[in-house]
Every structure is written in structure tokens, then in C-alpha cells.
Structure 1
Amino acid sequence: MKSSVNVTKNVAKPTLLPGTLRRVHHVALNVKDIQASRWFYGEMLGLRELTGNEIPATLRSLSKSGKVANFVTPDGLILDLFAEPELSPPDPDPTREFTRANHIGFDIHPKYFDRAVEVLRQHHVPISHGPVSRPTGRGVYFYDPDGFLIEIRCDPAVEES
């Protein structure tokens, strides 16, 4: 009697090397009351609110209309607060505390961006949208295993001379 065994070869898929992601670029939070949150992060916690041309170009119109506020931490991390007045109350289940967050954005050097997107695709990571190109750079949005939205983004590529 001959047995049939299904043998699948483990083919190594590429991964990003340690150190490829350089830093957390920004954290974006949905907030119910933008004014209360601006006070909390700006006054109580002492974060500096971005103004004028410091505000990313893609967010200036939202900032002027009171729908977003941008802060910077002393180490340069940007905290974006997005007004969501109809936001449901936090989930009482502490294992779901991420429900107030929008996404975390990781910065990557432009020369590694396409490779990062390919790695995500080869690992069948669910991509929400992107890659997208903007005047401020390129980005791709995808979900972690818990369904939390993550972004890998880069500044516009600069020709080296």
C-alpha cells in the first residue's frame, strides 16, 4: 500500500532587515472633542502645537477648519489629533484599548519603500490602501494581526549629487 504524502517546501520569503524602519514618524488619534484634546496634549502635557507652514501640507485645510491638530514631541514624533465628534465611547474591554487610535506611521528611507511594499504583499499582509504618492512623500497603509492600521511612509526621494 502506497501512502500519499503532501509535502510542501518551505520557501523562505524575504523580510525587512533590522534597522530598515528608522523610527516611528507619527501617531494619529481620533478624538471626540478636539478642543479638550488640544488642551490636554498642548497645555497639560506640554507638547508644542504645529502652526503655519509647520503643519504638513496635506493637513493644512483640515487644521484650518478645526478638524485636526498637530503636535510634536521633543524627539520629533508627530501626534495628529483627528476630530471625530460622533466617536463612540471607549470599549469597556481593556483588551480593546486600541479602538481610539487611527494608525501608527513608520518612516523608511525612500530607496527601501518599494521593497517594503513587496515584502507586505509576499506575506499576504492585508493592505488597506496604497501605495499612495503625495507631495509629502509615499505611503502604504496595512493592518497588523489585530486589525490595527499601520503606515510605512517616506519623504520624497531626493536626487543625490
Structure 2
Amino acid sequence: MFETKGLNHITIFVENFDRTLYFYKEILRMRVVHQGGHYAYLESGATWICLSGEEIGQARPSRLEQLHLALTVDDADFEQAVQHLRDHNVPIVRGPVARGVGKTVNFLDPDGVEWEFHTSNLAERMRVIAEMERSKA
């Protein structure tokens, strides 16, 4: 029996490659590992992201409005991260807000992909859920 070992990578098809690459490099501060033509590979922690400006991306119907992608930000850096988004006029669509687990802010990249800065992790979330379930019992 096999099991998945975690998120491997994300590929995002973009309309304006240069604009979107700038956003991921300068706004989200991801490191470019390789760039060629109209594609680039970037790193964010243990996850890698491919930006593709290929025409095939424009031919695919978008389902991105049904999901969001979250990046971990240290709690101590959260306010600075939110201010960084504001300083660069990044559209904030939800938050910033302190939830039962961590702080979050949701925002859009230049192609309308919804991202979230999140200060919590899965272990913390499971702890809060367990507490909520115990209080219902």
C-alpha cells in the first residue's frame, strides 16, 4: 500500500509571465531556481512552484476560484507580511484575521490565484479541533 508524502509542486499557468514572475520573486520572496523562455521554477520551503506562460494555460478552463494555496509565515512576521502586501497594492480578499488557530490573510496574485499567509500548522489545528470536539461531548 502506498501513501502520498506531501505536496510535490504546484504549476500555475499565467497570462503575463513577466508580471507574475515579479510577483512571486519580489512580493512573495520566492527563490528562482531556474528560468527559461516563458517558464520558471521557484522554491518556497520544501515546495517548488512552476510558473508557465505557455499558451496551453490560456486554453484550460480555470477552476482556481474553487481553491486557495497557503504559505506558512511566522507569527512574529505576520504583520510585516501583511504590510508588505499592502505596500505593493496586492488585492487582499479576506483578513487579516486571527482565527482559533493562527492568523491568516488571503490575497490574489496577478492572475487571480488566491493565496493565504497562515501562521499555524496542522498539529495546532488538530489540537484546537480536538478541544472543540471535547467541549461538545
Per residue, is there more helix in 1 or in 2?
A: 2
TM-score (norm 1): 0.39
- Structure with more contact order per residue of length (Cα contacts < 8 Å, sep ≥ 6): 1
If you compute each CA radius of gyration, which structure gives the higher value, 1 or 2?
A: 1
